[in-house]
Structure 1
Amino acid sequence: MKLNKKVLILCTGNSCRSIMAEALINAKLGECVEAQSSGVKASGTVNPNAQALLESKGYWRDEYHSKVIETVLDTPFDLVVTVCDHAKETCPMFPKAVKTIHIGFDDPSGKAVEEYEKTLNLIEKELLPVVKEELC
């Protein structure tokens, strides 16, 4: 059995963008990639609007939660993607050299619900093809 490649989606709070990207990648590219997400300064909570949107699309899994970077540092990732500028600047060094790319998205937190859907669509349009090309 071929082992799936692993991608880490890194953000600051791991409550919105990185969780949405993790869920999208697992839903759409799950046959070849396993996504995880974490935060440089994890908030500890998933944004309720992001979760509701993912649930409405059928992408949500109960295991998704906001987690700190230390919980995933020992995982051998094939690719790390930062989705916010702060995470890009503070991205830690992983024990083994791993390709890191940055594809930034504006944080919809605190904005109208429609902004979450826009962000999710942008992630699907801009991030998924890159992950697919790199790892599938």
Structure 2
Amino acid sequence: MSQKKEVLILCTGNSCRSIMAEALVNAKLGECVHAQSSGVKASGKVNPHAQALLQKKGYWRDEYHSKVIETVLDTPFDLVVTVCDAAKETCPVFAKAVKTLHVGFEDPSGKEEAEYKKTLNLIEKELLPIIKQELCNEQKSK
């Protein structure tokens, strides 16, 4: 069995979008990718609406939490994805990162519950295929 690829989902606060993306990637692409998330200016807490939605969908794991970027800087990531424009601007240079991509999503924080679902669906529809193509398909290629 081949080693799982490592992806970092980077946001500013690491409380909502990046946590949702981390949970989705691990739930849907877990056979080939291990996702972690972090924040350039991590808030230190997970948005309760995002957490409730992930729990309802069965994607939540207790180890998910808001982390500062320093905790993951030494991880040899295969891919770093920024999911908000601010993180893209301030994305640190990862010594061991192979590639950095930006796929932006609007922050649903402070909005109605439907906005969280919309963001989660967008992440699944737009980000997962990119990560899958980047990190999962190469094992199958000739």
TM (normalized to structure 1)? Answer: 0.99
Which structure 1 segments of 5+ residues have no match? none
Aligned counterparts, 1:122-133, within 5 A: 122-133=122-133
Say whether residues 1:135 and 2:125 are aligned partners.
no
For 1:34, the equivalent position in structure 2 comes to 34
> Residues 97 and 27 from structure 1, CA distance in 2 versus in 1: closer, same or farther, beyond 3 angstroms?
closer
Check conservation: 2:14, 2:37, Cα contact below 8 A: yes
For 1:114, the equivalent position in structure 2 comes to 114
Deviation for aligned residue 1:2: 1.6
Please list every run of at least 4 consecutive aligned residues from structure 1 whose deviation after the TM superposition is greater than 4 angstroms: none
Aligned counterparts, 1:1-136, within 5 A: 1-136=1-136
Deviation for aligned residue 1:121: 0.1
Q: Deviations over 1:10-69 (max 9, x none)?
A: 000000000000000000000000000000000000000000000000000000000000
Q: CA RMSD in A?
A: 0.6
Provide the rounded CA distance (Å) in 1 between the counterparts of 2:43 and 2:97.
Answer: 27
Q: Deviations over 1:86-130 (max 9, x none)?
A: 000000011124200000000000000110000000000000000
Provide the rounded CA distance (Å) in 1 between the counterparts of 2:97 and 2:109.
Answer: 32
Which structure 2 segments of 5+ residues have no match? 137-142
TM (normalized to structure 2)? Answer: 0.95
Deviation for aligned residue 1:3: 1.0
